[in-house]
Amino acid sequence: MAAKTRLVTQPVRSGTQIYARGADLVVTAAVSPGAEIIADGNIHVYGALRGRALAGAGGDVDARIFCSRLEAELVSIAGRYLVSEQLPSEQQGFPVQIALVDERLTVTRN
């Protein structure tokens, strides 16, 4: 796990790219479609995740993504990804955590 945490308190707008190098990323606002949030560690979004979230960007397979509202365009952990269409529809719009289990991304209700 990463030692520090990067905190973002403003909405992450479309076209913005945030990279928390060597750290976790916490966002306490919404992430717009077309925005990209990346962390070597975990990602926590206390808001709607509508853009792309890439955790464990440096290869950490234990990294996770947490969000209050799943509406993501794409989620990825350590390079494995799922696009919006592939995310389980029953989880769309709910608080979830996403983890990598046996090379597969799993989405579980928080």
Give the Cα separation of 53 and 76 in Å (integer): 6
The correct pick among 8, 29, 47, 74 for binding other proteins (CB under 8 A) is: 74
Give the Cα separation of 95 and 109 in Å (integer): 6
Q: Give the range of 3-11, 29-37, 41-49, 61-69 binding other proteins by CB under 8 A.
A: 29-37
Q: Does 11 bind other proteins (CB under 8 A)?
A: no
Phi, psi of 90 (to 5 degrees): -70, -15
In the complex, the smallest distance separating the C-beta of residue 99 from other proteins, rounded to whole angstroms, is 11
* DSSP code per residue over 7-47: EE-S-B-TT-EEEETTEEEEESS-B-TT-EEEESS-EEEEE
Q: Does 8 bind other proteins (CB under 8 A)?
A: no
Site residues, other proteins (CB under 8 A): 14-19, 21, 33-36, 38, 40, 54, 57-59, 73-74, 76, 79-86, 100, 103-105
